[in-house]
Chains A and B, each alone.
Chain A
């Protein structure tokens, strides 16, 4: 069974950093692009970042220069390093398998940016 499990969310002060992880299982992780999507409380879905199977990265303008997506194919794990966090980054962060067609999603991890 294909599964994604996010971790690393929590409460952080504005300007702080957080590193999210997404543990993948049930598929050949290195063969697939992976994506982060976030959802602010009570709001819609926002595409955040995608990394290809060959480590090419893409970012939303709202996070470019502050967030870094990476992958560890040996550990089947996706990461999102988030620096200089702002209140507007408060959201549930989902990892998803793929880039164009997001067929499998994790359960999400909540990031709260507040003083």
Chain B
């Protein structure tokens, strides 16, 4: 099974900051990676699919990059409404495991 290692586990940043989260796969998954946002008490939302494609309706301050084993998720200018936990998930082959999550807080 493919393991996803996400870091950091938590992050505190100021409004307007650039925020970066990384996700590493235990083997080559090409671009088979999604990023989800989960706000407290809510179900997750898909933000980025296939490594770098922005889901319809998602603000352009969110972006993803990477391929193979190393991936990056970036918020270019942090907004108060971005407070959430972010998860990567691969879909190279089942089981489609998630990273451990990154809890983002406002400083």
Residues on A lying within 8 angstroms of B by beta carbon are 37, 44-47, 50, 58, 60-61, 94, 99-103, 105-108
Contacts and interface: CB of A to CB of B under 8 A. Distances in A.
Contacts of A61: 1, 95
B46 A103 contact: yes
A101 B91 contact: yes
Contact of B95 (A45, A47, A100): A47
B44 A47 contact: no
- The secondary structure that dominates the A interface is loop
Contacts of B1: 61
Q: How large is the interface on B (under 10, 10 to 19, 20 to 34, 35 or more residues)?
A: 20 to 34
B87 A100 contact: no
Contacts of B94: 50, 58
A85 to B, nearest CB: 20
A45 B91 contact: no
Contacts, number: 52
Contact of B34 (A44, A101, A106): A101
B55 interface: yes
B101 A44 contact: yes
Contacts of A50: 94, 96
A94 B42 CA distance: 10
Contact of B96 (A99, A106, A108): A99
A67 B88 CA distance: 25
Contacts of B87: 44-45
Contacts of A105: 43-45
B74 to A, nearest CB: 20
Contact of B97 (A47, A94, A100, A102): A47
Interface centre among A45, A60, A94, A106 (most CB of B within 10 A): A45
A50 B95 CA distance: 9
B71 interface: no
Nearest to A101: B49
B46 A102 contact: yes
Nearest to A45: B98
B100 interface: yes
